[in-house]
């Protein structure tokens, strides 16, 4: 899935479906880079953070390069790296990500 549109759609999917998914486990969205001051370049990097029993972060390392890699951290420990180029659609990596979350929260 090397299409930049698909990567943007995956971010939208995470913002919508992951927030609803984690709400079922008593997690609340505490940070979304989209809501940060976009005149500051560090806020361009995709990042979602949820707080509950643990701290969950899903993010890209960079806003220009390697945007196909999404990292999952729980309590500041990297648990999983997802490469969207390994998938034909965005539903499969979302299912893998939620499975990793269930195993670790």
The predicted-structure confidence for 11-53, as pLDDT tens digits, reads as follows 899 999 999 999 999 999 999 988 777 676 565 778 999 999 9
pLDDT value of residue 89: 87
CA atoms of 29 and 56, how far apart (whole Å): 9
% of residues, the chain, pLDDT over 90: 59
Q: Which residues neighbour 50 within 8 Å (Cβ) at sequence distance 6 or greater?
A: 19, 22, 27, 28, 29, 30, 56, 57
pLDDT of 64 reads 59
Cβ-Cβ contacts under 8 Å for 100 (sequence gap 6 or more): 72, 79, 80
Q: Minimum mean pLDDT among 14-28, 53-67, 82-96: which range?
A: 53-67
């Amino acid at each position: 899935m090397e299409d930049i549109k698909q990567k943007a759609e995956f971010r939208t999917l995470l913002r919508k479906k992951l927030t609803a998914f984690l709400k079922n486990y008593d997690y609340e969205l505490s940070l979304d880079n989209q809501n940060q001051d976009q005149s500051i370049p560090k806020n361009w990097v995709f990042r979602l953070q949820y707080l509950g029993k643990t701290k969950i972060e899903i993010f890209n390392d960079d806003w220009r390069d390697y945007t196909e890699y999404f990292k999952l951290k729980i309590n500041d420990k990297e648990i999983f790296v997802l490469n969207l180029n390994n998938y034909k659609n965005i539903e499969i990596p979302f299912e893998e990500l939620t499975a990793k979350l269930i195993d670790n929260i």
